[in-house]
Amino acid sequence: MKKIEAIIRVSKFEEVKAALKDVGIDFLSYWDATGLGNELHKGERVYRGTVSDTEYIPRRVLNIVVRDVNLKKTVDCLLKYARTGVVGDGKIFVWDINESYRIRTGESGDTSLYNLD
**What's the average model confidence in pLDDT over 99-116?**
86
> Which residues, including other chains, have CB under 8 Å from residue 28's CB and lie 6 or more apart?
17, 20, 62, 63, 64
Rounded to the nearest 10 degrees, the angle between the axes of helix 13-22 and helix 71-81 is 150
Enter the pTM of the model: 0.81
Digit-coded pLDDT (tens) for 57-98: 789 999 999 999 999 999 999 999 999 998 888 999 999 999
The pLDDT value given to residue 35:
78
| Higher-scoring residue by pLDDT: 55, 77 | 77
Q: Any idea where the domains of the chain sit in the sequence? A: 2-33+62-112
| Higher-scoring residue by pLDDT: 41, 37 | 37
**CA count, 13 A, side-chain hemisphere, 111:** 5
The pLDDT value given to residue 58:
83
CATH number at 2-33+62-112:
3.30.70.120
